[in-house]
Amino acid sequence: MSAAAVSNCATKVLCSNRGCLEYRQLQRRLSPALAVSDARLCEVLRDGGRFVVVPGAQDRIPGCPLSPDSTILAKTSVRLCKSYPNCGRCENLHLCRYYVCGNCRYSKGRNTCRNSHDFRSDHNLAILTSNQLQDLEEAELFQLLLQNDSYLLPEICPHYNKGNGQYGSCTFKMKCTNLHVCQHFLQGDCKFGAGCKRCHRFDLNARNILSGRGLSADNTCILHDIYKNRYRIDTCVEKTEGKTQRSREPSLSSTTDVDSNEICLFFLRKHCSFKALTCLETVVVFFSFGKGSVQLVLLRMMRLMLCSTSLIILARMSLYSLCPPFSYFDTHYPSEKCIRVHFHLPYKWEVLDRDGLTWKELPQMEDIEKAYCNPENTTSCLYIPCVYSNGSPAVNFLTMTCRSAQVRRLSTASSVTKPPHFLFTTEWVWYWKNEHGKWTEYGHQQDEKAGGSISSKVLENVYLADSENNVPFSIGGQQYILHFKGMYQQNQIYKTKREVQRRPRFVSAQDVERKLKSGPTETTASTAVSVPAHWDQGALPDFTYKLISLSTSSEEFRQVEILFRRTMLTNKIHKIQRIQNPSLWKVFQCGKCKHSHDIHSAQNLAILRKNQLQDLDEVKLFQLLLQNDSSLLPEICFHYNKGNEEYGSCNYKTKCAKLHVCQYFFQGDCKFGPSCKRSHKFDTNATQILERRFSAENIRILPAIYKMKYMIDNPASLITEKKSKEVSMKSISEVEINEICLFYIRKHCSFNDKCARVHSHLPYKWEFKYDLKTWKDIPNMEEIEKAYCNPENNTSKGLDFITMKYGSSNVRRLSTASSVTKPPNFVLTTKWVWYWKNEHGKWIEYGHHADKKTGASISSITLEKVYAEGADSKSFSAADQQYVIYFKDMYQQNQKHYTKRDVRRRPRFVSVEEVKKKLERDSEKTSDPASSFPIHWDKGRIAVTNTKDEFKTVETAFRKTMNTNQIHKIERIQNPSLWKVFQWQKEQMEKSKEGKEVDERFLFHGTKAELIDPICEQNFDWRICGVNGTSYGKGSYFARDASYSNKYSKVKDGHKYMFFVRVLVGEFTKGRSNIVRPPILYDSCVNSTTDPTIFVIFEKYQIYPEYLIEYS
């Protein structure tokens, strides 16, 4: 059998056994299928591109370099594509990362994942075949990817693994997005065991992070093994003679991979002092606290002290016989201490050797770097000698491979992470690809449109803080979001996507030499950071330090001595030395805030005077800025305020960077009060977000600040209804909140207190504002309404209709929906009448039969329909003259003579007595048996017997996809009012289609028990009943298949409920998540126009809830 076949079979066996096996186990599992000798198998396992071998402690097998207990791990260079689905053809797999991790949340419910779940697609199969992985099953491939592709698993927090506090040195604490677990435990080498201060299991926060990354419960259970395998693959642990040896010292292994793959700036500039740090280790202090007791201050503490103070104390005691000096360091700190890479250039290109352990330098490194720095290049375009053969293709920058060998680029730290005087930091440049295929740098001075509001420096800072973040920014009036994860930017309106790249600024070897020669002089002059005045000016080296002994008579010596003696009275001080390190001092000075804290600087004072704010003190100015400048306040999560779940429709849950609080509470108008499902206070997550930006005092008054900011941003909410245009200016929900409920007037409202509309016994209601939150009824309401309905009147009973004021108080008029927005059988809708004022000061109704000249071409009904649709104006003709009505300023203008006439919109008066009569007539019509209803109807909600054809029809449709469920009852819903509306809507749709038959279908809708009566009484209303998804629009969702609706049926007393609904779907098109009504010429939206299974209805008159199915 060929070596390739043996290799493929070994990989398959390893991947089916959690990614690794001991050699003897692997040989045993291969034996039934393959007759392969130890020598042959060992030769195959030497392929460093596919296997990692960790030597064991037992004796080697004769004729074979491996021992029976050697550990074999499956390895691959195949990775998931980070740019997918915004990628063309690449050499990485196009798969959903969450699916690979075992739990794709986007493939649940109504939403479907936009990323592929097919690992055998044409693209993926070609990649697998080229890497000899085509024989792997799905679970085996995913195991291989999980232990090799670092993109899939969350990082272990390096800061949590340093320091002594509960969270180590991690300042994010519970908000950290990395895992807070012991790094050495996951690597399998924690020497502290149960006594370790770091966590050896995944706590609640870690489990939330893992769940957010898509890790299934099964994968979470074996995650310890996956991390251990990945660590051994990444670091190539070797075990020799029963001892574990690492390429770097254990205590430093908690340093991030970024640090270990970073080129040392100090070595590059001149030399790295860590090789000679044993002399600094003698600066460790030994103190006695009693017989045989020794305290040791470690080197790590000394390093910290170098950053915060310029003094070191040396003390010597008579305990050397008990503890030989410095022997601890000789054992635990070998001379090779620098964890970073030592190289003569600020970048280094390496290729992985065939043994899978050794990284070798690539030739023509400067040429590769130059090609890489150009975002146009996807390969190095060079013929590079390869470690596998005499030659190979160029380096592929997208996959970072040279043929199948892995390639890596090491570099110095990013320039944004270091003070400006540091030489040879890597300046990363961010580019986006325009519609012409040209790469343009963000913030470039020649690119005003694309670089206006964001620069490479800003992007680099945000990227290093969180590489999975999304950055919103604006360009030329357009809003964009840059996605680091997929490396693309997207227009928020048109949804167009542009590729994004991050490449370094090129620095040649000649540039490095030039900077080394001129660097110290330039940096000293440019940074101008002065050292303390008391320093010895003759001992200021450029890159290292000098120790200056202090005189015992100096004030500096005495100050240090006093601090030391507070707790160390009995010890003798032999020497105190000042450390003079200009480089560290500059870094320490740069640690201070680089932004101004002076509101009266020349720049700031000029701006304050220009805006007449120069008399404000600091507190008042900051208050003014907080309630006006949106950049200062964190956003309230829009998705949290939608949906019915604990976190609304927000997928980020506790990881969301926005505030999870009730938006309406902060606007001062939450109608639900204490019963609101959304939080009215800052929870732990919100408090942590705020604590990073605000003082405790500002957090306390933040609700008031948000409310004032909302009022400033939305002045229309403060002015009268007369001065504003409600329908076109407000959202649907705001209009309905100020609308009187028609169902409550007629009989009763099934939604009760949950109804979004106002409950009143009249179709109008006059109120005045009593205080900031309370509206109270105005007395003599019927008389005021009668006066208001007459366009001649401007006032009544002290109420001004023009300013909508009652004394000094604001006034509002609430009413039922406009008659043009409801079917004709709806009683007590508000009929609005439109008037114009002629040259004699008389108000004339549009379209009135007595006004032939002006009323011929337009009527009040027409104007009301146009106004309700949100139009700004309406053209019409009267006799031979052309006019335009402007709704905003309420006037009409002659298009020839430009004369203007006032226009008014007033309701038709309805008295209390007329309301009673209309309700009585409506009740008689409802009970009229002559009304046109289905002949099989009885009265009320009627149970359908299982012997009727009607029952069998519903049952058959249900059982197409729900064959195993038991149907307990099917009820027919008989609501004459809803049936009339449904039939009227059907007629209107047929008329608009010129008599063409309307597409009418029976569809399913899952619900919960408490919503059954409101739906049967008042029909479906997604604004009140809630929304389970908005993928195809904000409306009521119905499904072709009962199995789909079953997901949204809620169990009560062991039973579930589902409506079988008659729906006028009409003409449909594919929906979008942000629409609130179907596009013009369409009646509904669907998930697919070729084979629709989900229908979204925006107008409830197109729905009749005909049957209710009770099942389990």
**Which pLDDT score is estimated for 1060?**
94
- Alpha-carbon 71 to chain mean position: 40
Taking a C-beta distance cutoff of 8 angstroms, is the pair 640, 656 a contact?
yes
* Total Cβ atoms within 10 A of residue 168: 20
Mean pLDDT, to the nearest integer, of 390-419? 80
* Total Cβ atoms within 10 A of residue 964: 5
Lowest-confidence segment of 581-595, 749-763, 912-926, 1098-1112 by average pLDDT:
581-595
CA distance 265 to 420: 13
The helix-helix angle for 618-626 and 702-713 (nearest 10°) equals 60
Residues 6+ apart with CB under 8 A from 596: 604
**Which pLDDT score is estimated for 754?**
67
Taking a C-beta distance cutoff of 8 angstroms, is the pair 827, 918 a contact?
yes
CA distance 547 to 559: 18
Peptide bond into 85 cis (omega under 30): yes
**What 8-state DSSP symbol labels residue 105?**
G
Could you tell me the CA-to-CA distances from 117 to 174, 270, 939 in Å, in that order?
Answer: 33, 52, 51
CA distance 611 to 605: 10
**369-381 per-position pLDDT tens digit:** 999 999 998 888 6
**Which pLDDT score is estimated for 42?**
87
Exposed / middle / buried, residue 735 (Cβ in 10 Å: 0-12, 13-18, 19+): middle
CA distance 350 to 409: 6
**Which pLDDT score is estimated for 394?**
80
**Which pLDDT score is estimated for 236?**
61
Taking a C-beta distance cutoff of 8 angstroms, is the pair 478, 450 a contact?
no
Q: How many CA atoms lie within 13 A of 435 on its CB side?
A: 4
Mean pLDDT, to the nearest integer, of 307-316? 42
CA distance 1062 to 1107: 9
Quick one: what percent of the chain has pLDDT higher than 90? 17
Mean pLDDT, to the nearest integer, of 628-655? 81
Residues 6+ apart with CB under 8 A from 1077: 1098, 1099
Lowest-confidence segment of 220-229, 694-703, 793-802 by average pLDDT:
694-703
At 592, list the tokens.
């201070």
Strands 967-973 and 1103-1111: antiparallel
Mean pLDDT, to the nearest integer, of 27-31? 85
732: pLDDT strictly greater than 90: no
**225-283 per-position pLDDT tens digit:** 898 898 888 876 333 333 333 333 333 333 445 566 889 888 887 667 665 333 333 33
**Which pLDDT score is estimated for 322?**
31
Mean pLDDT, to the nearest integer, of 829-840? 90
Residue type, 928: D
520: pLDDT strictly greater than 60: no
Taking a C-beta distance cutoff of 8 angstroms, is the pair 389, 354 a contact?
no
pLDDT band of 316, cuts 50, 70, 90: very low
**148-200 per-position pLDDT tens digit:** 988 888 889 888 888 777 888 888 888 888 899 998 888 888 888 777 888 88
**Which pLDDT score is estimated for 786?**
93
At 193, list the tokens.
């065991």
* Total Cβ atoms within 10 A of residue 917: 11
Beta strands, E only, 793-899? 795-796, 799-800, 805-806, 809-815, 832-837, 843-845, 873-878, 881-886, 891-894
Taking a C-beta distance cutoff of 8 angstroms, is the pair 692, 171 a contact?
no
Name the more confident of 476 and 1078.
1078
Question: What are the beta bridge partners of residue 1085?
Answer: 1069, 1096
| Mean pLDDT value across the chain | 78
- Alpha-carbon 826 to chain mean position: 45
pLDDT band of 1025, cuts 50, 70, 90: low
**Which pLDDT score is estimated for 849?**
53
Taking a C-beta distance cutoff of 8 angstroms, is the pair 165, 172 a contact?
no
Task: Give the angle subtended at the CA of 517 by the CAs of 511 and 522, to the nearest 5°.
Answer: 95
Strands 347-352 and 764-769: unpaired
**What is the value of pTM for the model shown?**
0.34
**839-851 per-position pLDDT tens digit:** 888 999 888 755 5
**Which pLDDT score is estimated for 1109?**
93
**Which pLDDT score is estimated for 428?**
93
Q: How many CA atoms lie within 13 A of 410 on its CB side?
A: 23
CA distance 311 to 313: 7
